[in-house]
């Protein structure tokens, strides 16, 4: 702020030559007015409409009014114009009777401020004022360094004379781009920034109508003169206010502790992303307002002199108008985890973005809400989106308009106490085929209605490329017989260079015959070789196998959650069909009588069939015999025959006869073939009448056959 009659601009001197006596040198003031008011309006951030929220004070020459933003990229945005980048302006604009500030309720006020692009030549500034004077919406203080809110130090010996000219019963935050540090009454009213240790443009606060705010200075002995500075509280110093940018400002009132916290530059003007900013907290003395209702008026005042700047405000949140919140979360559906700041996710992971808008209360419904979405531009493929409302309504999100990660959609429903929430869900999939990590920045989306705006920011996270963990087994299929374990050797490798398999970090999972198997009991894993070999032996104990076909499925997951391909190992536990017979068997010694005779077996015969293939399997046993001969080659007249249990005699010499057929009824069947033969049945020796005495021998060929089940 500065005194408006003090000239601090470049002066161009023009030398005028006169034909009369002498030379006259006349200083001509040349003020180059860089009109950045229109530029500021065309670059406004997203804000809200202010219909019936503020009203200009009625004094003559008031520069303050509500104007429309001209930025084509924002919607429903009004601008409070306190001053418009011209010299010698003074403005004041105040909340209407329906929008007073309630000291009994905690509240947040957020806004964007613009002070033009005048640099160090900017003056005088503006002030955010809370007050309870008797002038209502017509209050205005003094001009110049007083910014329309403070008093004036016009050579008076009483601080109360200064404060009397200020807005009464008030507290103000000044946004002052110009230092007024004249320590001399002859310099006029230009000393309000003395003795505060200020180094440049600044923000500070105090009570304009309180005489204790003003500190007296004097000069002279007999004829004294006086001037004053203001005690600055809650200082944020050395700012670059008039740099052409919009600056975000947030004010938070804690009704319980009477603390007012203000934070400057706490949002990025380009992305709306939250920044730390600079903050100060003041404990308000509410008695200064002298209110019995706790309802006070608030608004902005401002002034320019020969030096000037914009004094523009775009509101996001006006207390009491709408109270609502927005939040943003991301869930990794593939791994069932929340994505927080710094979380690693992986190529191919399925993601759900959820934005929750919640209306808590307000004098108005939250209307004409436009979701101005800012999404990650790389690493995510967006698949679908929906919006659901508390009243049961829903609509689809049109993702076809996404460009550079941005798209907008107007919500079909307003939010109110009757319909107090909207949930925006966007489905996507991580996509990283680069071979390196993609770092996804936080992204801030705005939800701007005609009367309220709020933002929500997604966290930063990383998308790791899939290192292509591959599992191979050898053999790829296994055949075992009952009672034997099934084993196969697995090998894990990465397909992306730079990744090394660490055995101890691999988590192997298995299913056996469609059921999750317990590693260590159902399936045993034994790592082989070095700690980074990637090789293991998988063993399925015999008692875990069923007869017939088995299926072992193996999958590995590394420490980063990357999963290998699944490998299916068929295991055939086929059982065995086996014939056991004695190698030498004989018939009883018999004296030939010249008659045909059937000679019975000796007790040295043994013949059994073992079938471990399981119930329902069939087998058939056949036998054939050679001719019987002596050692000298004499052939027996006769040969081996098979006598059935119905006493039918079948010749076996060079002819296969059926000995037995059976269907297995258990998992392990052993059949003693001879047990069903009587002494005069089964295989016997038939000696014809012409047979000669001698020792004869021959060979029986047994054929045990599997009989297919139809």
pLDDT tens figures, 658-688: 999 999 888 778 899 999 899 999 999 999 9
- What is the edge-to-edge ordering of all strands in the sheet holding 618-625? 657-663, 618-625, 700-707
The domain total for the chain is 4
Mean pLDDT value across residues 209-220: 92
Question: What's the CA dihedral at 154, 158, 162, 164 to 10 degrees?
Answer: -130
**Domain limit, last residue, from 257, 289, 317:** 317
Same domain (yes/no): 339, 379: yes
Give, as one character, the DSSP assignment of residue 479: E
Q: What is the pLDDT of residues 146-202, one digit of tens each?
A: 899 999 876 788 999 999 999 999 999 999 999 988 887 665 568 888 889 999 999
Are 654 and 640 a contacting pair, CB within 8 Å? no
10: pLDDT strictly greater than 60: no
The pLDDT tens digits of the residues spanning 580-589 come to 999 899 999 9
Pair 594, 683 in one domain: yes
Q: What is the pLDDT of residue 122?
A: 87
Does one domain contain both 145 and 270? yes
pLDDT of residue 16: 32
CA-wise closest residue to 534 among 544, 525, 523, 547: 525
Considering the domain architecture, whether residues 335 and 450 belong to the same structural domain is answered as yes
Q: Is residue 11 part of a domain?
A: no
pLDDT confidence of residue 297: 97
Q: Residue 1 falls within a domain, yes or no?
A: no
**Residue 359: pLDDT over 70:** yes
Question: Domain containing 513 — which CATH number?
Answer: 2.60.40.10
Q: What is the pTM of this model?
A: 0.67
**Looking at residues 209-215, what average pLDDT do you find?**
96
- The domain in which residue 589 lies consists of 577-707
Distance from the Cα of residue 237 to its chain's centroid: 38
Nearest to 683 by CA among 668, 670, 700: 700
Do 357 and 381 lie in one domain? The reply is yes
| Whether residues 106 and 252 fall in one domain | yes
pLDDT tens per residue across span 257-300 = 999 999 999 999 888 888 999 999 999 999 999 999 999 999 99
In whole angstroms, what is the distance from residue 594 CA to residue 590 CA? 12
Q: What is the pLDDT of residues 627-649, one digit of tens each?
A: 999 999 999 999 999 999 999 99
Q: What confidence score (pLDDT) does residue 553 get?
A: 98
pLDDT at 107 over 70: yes
Name the average pLDDT for the chain.
90
Share of the chain above pLDDT 70, in %: 94
Secondary structure E strands in 375-514: 380-389, 394-396, 406-410, 421-430, 438-440, 443-448, 453-458, 461-464, 469-474, 478-480, 486-494, 507-512
- The CATH number assigned to the domain holding 77 equals 2.60.120.200
Taking Cα atoms as reference points, which of 360, 278, 321 lies closest to residue 95? Answer: 321
- Residue predicted with more confidence, 577 or 250: 250
Same domain? 568 vs 606: no
Bigger pLDDT: 565 or 35? Answer: 565
Q: Tell me which of 7-11, 71-75, 392-396, 484-488 is least confident.
A: 7-11
How many helices and strands (H and E) does the chain possess? Answer: 2, 51
User: Which pLDDT score is estimated for 185?
Assistant: 64
Q: Which helix (H) or strand (E) holds 39?
A: helix 37-42
pLDDT band at 24 (very low <50, low <70, confident <90, very high): very low
Q: Is 40 helix (H, G, I), strand (E, B) or coil?
A: helix
**In what helix (H) or strand (E) does residue 37 lie, and over which residues does it extend?**
helix 37-42
Calpha distance 186→225 (Å, rounded): 9
pLDDT digits (tens, 9 = 90+) for 397-431: 999 989 999 999 999 999 999 999 999 999 999 99
pLDDT of res. 186: 63
Residue that finishes a domain, picked among 556, 573, 590:
573
Is the domain of 517 the same as that of 583? no
Q: What is the average pLDDT across 436-447?
A: 94
């Amino acid at each position: 702020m500065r005194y408006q009659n003090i000239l601090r601009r470049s002066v161009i001197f023009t030398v005028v030559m006169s034909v009369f006596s002498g030379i006259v040198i006349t200083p001509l003031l040349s003020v180059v007015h860089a009109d950045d008011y229109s530029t500021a309006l065309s670059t406004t951030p997203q804000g809200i409409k202010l219909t019936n929220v503020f009203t200009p004070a009625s004094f003559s020459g008031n520069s303050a009014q509500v104007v429309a933003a001209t930025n084509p990229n924002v919607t429903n945005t009004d601008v409070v114009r306190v001053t418009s980048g011209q010299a010698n302006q003074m403005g004041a604009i105040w909340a209407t009777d329906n929008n007073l500030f309630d000291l009994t309720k905690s509240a947040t006020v957020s806004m964007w401020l613009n002070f033009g692009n005048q640099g160090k030549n900017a003056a005088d500034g503006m002030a955010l004022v809370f007050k309870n004077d008797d002038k209502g919406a017509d209050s205005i203080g003094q001009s110049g360094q007083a910014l329309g809110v403070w008093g004036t130090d016009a050579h008076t010996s009483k601080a109360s004379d200064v404060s009397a000219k200020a807005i009464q019963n008030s507290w103000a935050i000044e946004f002052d781009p110009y230092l007024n540090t004249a320590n001399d009454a002859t310099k006029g009213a230009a000393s309000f920034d003395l003795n505060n240790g200020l180094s440049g443009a600044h923000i500070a606060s105090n009570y304009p109508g309180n005489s204790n705010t003003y500190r007296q200075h004097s000069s002279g002995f007999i004829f004294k003169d006086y001037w004053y500075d203001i005690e600055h509280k809650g200082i944020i110093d050395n700012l670059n206010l008039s740099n052409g940018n919009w600056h975000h400002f947030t004010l938070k009132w804690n009704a319980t502790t009477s603390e007012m916290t203000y934070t400057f530059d706490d949002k990025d003007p380009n992305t709306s992303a939250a920044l730390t900013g600079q903050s100060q907290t003041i404990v308000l003395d509410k008695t200064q307002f002298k209110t019995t209702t706790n309802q006070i008026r608030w608004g902005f005042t401002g002034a320019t002199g020969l030096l000037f700047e914009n004094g523009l405000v775009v509101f996001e949140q006006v207390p009491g108008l709408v109270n609502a919140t927005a939040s943003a979360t991301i869930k990794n559906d593939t791994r069932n985890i929340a994505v927080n700041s710094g979380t690693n996710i992986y190529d191919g992971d399925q993601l759900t973005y959820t934005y929750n808008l919640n209306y808590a209360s307000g004098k108005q419904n939250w209307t004409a809400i436009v979701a101005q979405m800012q999404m990650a531009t790389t690493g995510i493929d967006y698949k679908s989106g929906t919006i659901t409302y508390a009243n049961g309504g829903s609509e689809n999100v049109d993702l076809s308009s996404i460009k550079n990660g941005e798209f907008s959609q107007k919500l079909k429903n307003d939010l109110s106490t009757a319909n107090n929430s909207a949930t925006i869900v966007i489905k996507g999939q991580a996509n990283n085929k680069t071979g390196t990590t993609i770092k996804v920045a936080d992204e801030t989306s705005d939800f701007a209605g005609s009367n309220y705006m709020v933002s929500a920011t997604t966290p930063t996270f990383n998308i790791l490329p899939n290192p292509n963990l591959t599992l191979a087994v050898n053999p790829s299929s296994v055949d075992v017989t009952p009672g034997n374990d099934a084993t196969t050797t697995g090998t894990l490798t990465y397909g992306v260079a730079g990744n090394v398999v660490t055995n101890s970090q691999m988590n192997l999972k298995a299913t056996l015959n469609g059921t999750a198997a317990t590693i260590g009991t159902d399936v045993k894993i034994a790592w082989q070789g070095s700690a980074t070999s990637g090789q293991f032996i998988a063993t399925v104990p015999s008692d875990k196998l069923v007869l017939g076909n088995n299926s072992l499925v193996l999958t590995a997951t590394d420490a980063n959650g990357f999963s290998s391909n699944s490998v299916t190992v068929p295991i055939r536990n086929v059982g065995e069909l086996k014939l056991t017979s004695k190698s030498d068997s004989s018939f009883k010694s018999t004296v030939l009588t010249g008659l045909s005779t059937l000679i019975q077996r000796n007790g040295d015969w043994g013949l059994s069939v073992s079938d471990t293939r399981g119930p329902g399997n069939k087998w058939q046993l056949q036998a054939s015999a050679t001719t019987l001969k002596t050692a000298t080659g004499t052939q027996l007249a006769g040969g081996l025959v098979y006598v059935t249990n119905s006493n039918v005699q079948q010749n076996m010499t060079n002819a296969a006869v059926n000995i037995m057929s059976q269907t297995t009824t258990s998992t392990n069947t052993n059949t003693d073939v001879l047990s069903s033969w009587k002494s005069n049945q089964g295989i016997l020796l038939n000696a014809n009448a012409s047979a000669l005495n001698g020792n004869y021998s021959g060979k029986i060929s047994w054929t045990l056959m599997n009989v297919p089940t139809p």
